Amino acid sequence: MESIQSSLKQWAVDNERFQQRLNDAKRTLLHDPVVKQALEKVDVSEEVLDQDLIKLYELQKELNHCQQCPGLSQCPNMMKGYQPELIVARKSLDLTYHPCSLKKKADNDRKQRQLINSLYVPKDILQATFDQLDPDHEREEASRKALQFALSAKPGDEGQGLYFYGKFGVGKTYLMGAVANELRDRGIQTFIVYTPDFFREMKSSIGDGTFQEKLDMVKKAQVLILDDIGAETISGWIRDDVLGAILQYRMLENLPTLFTSNYDYDELEEHLSYSERGGIEELKAKRIMERIKHYTSFVTVEGANRRVR
């Protein structure tokens, strides 16, 4: 009997100590600055506080992580890049999560990168900027017109584009990369395409059923850059059903198209007039060129071949 009484007394003492530790922990929690600040924004009873202390512990832990932020990639929070906010839901405390500033910036950067889509274009071209262009008086006029377009383009309202003509290696594609990045910063979606590989891709996509999807993706871009047009092996189908369909849609929708080429207008027309059957289809080539000429300004890119340095 004495043993039972002793055990009960010890249990009472242990329970009192546990309750004291619990009260101390609660007091410490409620005096934490981040918890106090959060509780100032809600109105709850003492009873609700007691039953939802676990939510306050979670809030304290997550927000203290944020105060000692190790960076987004090392974020220790349960939801990486998200901060908790204390709310009252159904007369109980709860937490809702919002993206932190680092998460918002990362998401925005990703969306910005997605504004430039590319097919078969080198990565260094996609990173080009006007600030990085070589100070070259021979290319000054082309650079000025490229920048002017990038700063003033209004897809859907104004469909006028540019046709950059020059010899191999003078920097036409790099200028287009700079245009694409400037447009990205303005929130304008740009698709930059290496034309020869794109046309080959379109031909092979007939077999896998993705032809129309890929065609729509390119022709509906706010700004389309067709790089190195004329370097492809032309066929009547490519000219009429791919290039012709793209240009017709963009003309009707006032969507600007930019071109780079080693051919001037007349040389490109001659190139487009040949068919895979060995015949010459001048009228069909003229139809394509009339669309290109009418909706682009011709820009000559001068300078030495930068690829042999």
b/e sequence 228-241, b meaning 16+ C-beta within 10 Å: bbbbbebbbbbbbe
> Predicted confidence band at 258 (pLDDT cuts at 50, 70, 90)?
very high
Give the chain's end-to-end CA distance (angstroms, integer): 100
Cα 34 from Cα 178, distance rounded (Å): 46
DSSP conformation letters of 37-78 = HHHTT----HHHHHHTHHHHHHHHHHHHHHHT---GGG--SS
Q: Give me the percent of the chain exceeding a pLDDT of 70.
A: 87
Nearest to 275 by CA among 233, 219, 303, 213: 233
Domains of the chain: 2-102 (no CATH), 115-308 (3.40.50.300)
C-alpha to C-alpha distances, 227 to 120, 126, 173, 191, nearest whole angstrom: 10, 13, 7, 10
> Predicted confidence band at 114 (pLDDT cuts at 50, 70, 90)?
low
Q: 168 or 172, which is more confident?
A: 172
Minimum mean pLDDT range among 124-128, 164-168, 186-190:
124-128
As a whole number, the mean pLDDT across the chain is 85
* pLDDT tens per residue across span 126-138: 788 888 777 677 7
Other beta carbons within 10 Å of 220:
15
b/e sequence 75-94, b meaning 16+ C-beta within 10 Å: bebeeebbbbebeeeeeebe
The angle, 0 to 180 degrees and rounded to 10, between the axes of the packed helices 282-294 and 265-273 is: 150
Residue with tokens 């394509």: 288
The SS3 assignment for 99 reads strand
* pLDDT tens per residue across span 51-96: 878 888 888 899 889 989 999 889 999 899 999 998 888 888 888 9
Provide long-range contacts, Cβ within 8 A and 24+ apart, for 144-149.
Answer: 145/297, 145/299, 146/175, 146/176, 146/178, 146/179, 146/299, 147/178, 147/179, 147/182, 149/179, 149/256, 149/258
> Predicted confidence band at 1 (pLDDT cuts at 50, 70, 90)?
very low
Token couple for 214: 């890929």
> Predicted confidence band at 9 (pLDDT cuts at 50, 70, 90)?
low
Cα 79 from Cα 92, distance rounded (Å): 22
> Predicted confidence band at 25 (pLDDT cuts at 50, 70, 90)?
confident
Q: Give me the percent of the chain exceeding a pLDDT of 90.
A: 39
> The whole model's pTM is what?
0.66
What's the pLDDT score for residue 13?
56
Looking at this protein, which amino acid is placed at residue 301? V
Q: Mean pLDDT throughout 38-61?
A: 84
Cα 267 from Cα 263, distance rounded (Å): 5
C-alpha to C-alpha distances, 7 to 4, 11, 20, nearest whole angstrom: 5, 6, 20
> Predicted confidence band at 308 (pLDDT cuts at 50, 70, 90)?
low
The phi, psi pair for 231, rounded to 5°, reads -85, -10
What's the pLDDT score for residue 2?
52
Q: Rounded to the nearest 5 degrees, what angle is found at the Cα of 13, between the Cα atoms of 7 and 15?
A: 100
CB 116 within 8 A of CB 180: yes
What's the pLDDT score for residue 111?
63
What's the pLDDT score for residue 8?
47
N residues, the chain: 309
